[in-house]
Amino acid sequence: MKKLLIINTGGTFSSVESERGLKPGLSSGELLEAMRLVAGGIELEMEDLFLVDSANIFPDDWRRLAERIQEAAAGYQGIVVIHGTDTMAYTASMLSFMLQNVPIPVVLTGSQLSISHPVADAMENCRCAVHMAAGGHGGVFLAFNRKVMLGVRASKVRTMSFDAFESINYPDVAQISSLGLRIHTGYLPEIKGDFRLCTEYSDQVFVLKMYPGIRPELLSMLEEHGYRGVYIEAFGLGGLPFLKNDFLAAVERSVKRGMTVLVGSQCRYEGSSLSVYETGLRALNSGVLQAYDMTAEAAVTKLMWVLGQTDDRHKIEEYFSENLVQEVRIPV
């Protein structure tokens, strides 16, 4: 009989009503009986790691969760993580980098309604996550609304619908239909070596969304406050302005002073291509790195993770020239 570990971190899935609104309140003991209803012949064990709204998840929680998964990996055939939806894609992305070559399935899931609600999506999401976790395919995944996505490709795209998550610029790796759970093995992450826990990260990272009229002195302000990296959500294919308020000149100065600047697109689909327009080519010449078709969550967490591994400029460039965990397609 396969044995899975369910790690509960809180979120809507385990929430209860309070005078101040919904908050995590159901313990693993209260949840386990309900979850066994969807497990079939799979043995489940469950524990509480922390019980918080996912808006209160911080990078040190990612480290703690990754360490617990590494500790448990040898004793279980798969692990399910119950997590709030608001930051679940960030957690799934960072775990993808921290759990290098994880040999068992690690599947994050949550819900838009608490498991205690009579019409909740919680049980169906749990069913999908449990059976994906029992499927034997190593990697970090996110299960929601009868589909399974690579954790590093998932993004929350709707606030109220049950179909809250999508796989961005990458196919779903599995779906549940009348044919059961169908896993598309060709889309699964490649296990390239031994399982390694790599939990070092930098939280000195900023996200900057471009808008017409943005002032270039923002970058020097970030440097003054100790930020080591910035992810810029640029216009279209990756355009940055260089007329009037010369933002590109500020970018070049920041890069020369040691800031890592990663540039992607504000558009959710299809990604950046800085080599098409003059605005993008100027950015490349200024020394920025390109996010290509990464999700915003993957771009931010990869930047945090890479800066935790090294401060050497050439090694940082090497990390961003590689597809580490299927987080990016880099044109050849």
Residue 27 has pLDDT above 70, yes or no: no
Q: CA 225, CA 91: separation in Å to the nearest integer? A: 25
Alpha helices in 193-277 (DSSP H): 217-224, 247-256
Instruction: Domains for the chain: give ranges and CATH numbers.
Output: 3-197 (3.40.50.1170), 205-320 (3.40.50.40)
Q: Which of 25-29, 224-228, 307-311, 321-325 has the lowest average pLDDT?
A: 25-29
Question: Which pLDDT band holds residue 327 (cuts at 50, 70, 90)?
Answer: very high
- Sequence-distant (6+) residues with CB within 8 A of 199 are 62, 63, 66, 67, 98, 308
Q: State the average pLDDT over residues 286-295.
A: 96
Question: Which pLDDT band holds residue 25 (cuts at 50, 70, 90)?
Answer: low
Q: CA 30, CA 307: separation in Å to the nearest integer? A: 40
Closest Cα partner for 223 from 264, 257, 252, 247? 257
Q: State the average pLDDT over residues 265-285.
A: 90
- Sequence-distant (6+) residues with CB within 8 A of 231 are 205, 206, 207, 208, 262, 263, 264, 291, 296, 299, 300, 303
Question: What is the structure's pLDDT at 21?
Answer: 64
Q: CA 271, CA 54: separation in Å to the nearest integer? A: 27
Alpha helices in the chain (DSSP H): 28-36, 59-72, 88-98, 122-133, 217-224, 247-256, 278-286, 296-309, 313-320
Q: CA 37, CA 147: separation in Å to the nearest integer? A: 19
- Lookup: tokens for 40: 């079939």
Q: CA 101, CA 190: separation in Å to the nearest integer? A: 8
Q: Which residues are catalytic?
A: 12, 85-86, 156, 277
Q: Which of 38-47, 62-71, 319-328 has the lowest average pLDDT?
A: 38-47
Mean residue pLDDT of the chain comes to 92
What does the chain come to in residues?
332
* pTM more than 0.85: yes
User: Whose structure tokens read 């049950």?
Assistant: 162
Question: What is the structure's pLDDT at 36?
Answer: 81
Closest Cα partner for 230 from 254, 208, 257? 208
Question: What is the structure's pLDDT at 119?
Answer: 78
Q: Which of 130-134, 175-179, 195-199 has the lowest average pLDDT?
A: 175-179
Question: What is the structure's pLDDT at 19?
Answer: 65
181-203 per-position pLDDT tens digit? 999 999 999 898 999 999 999 99
Q: In angstroms, how far is CA 298 from the centroid of its own chain? A: 5
86-116 per-position pLDDT tens digit? 999 999 999 999 999 999 999 999 998 877 7
Residue 270 has pLDDT above 90, yes or no: yes
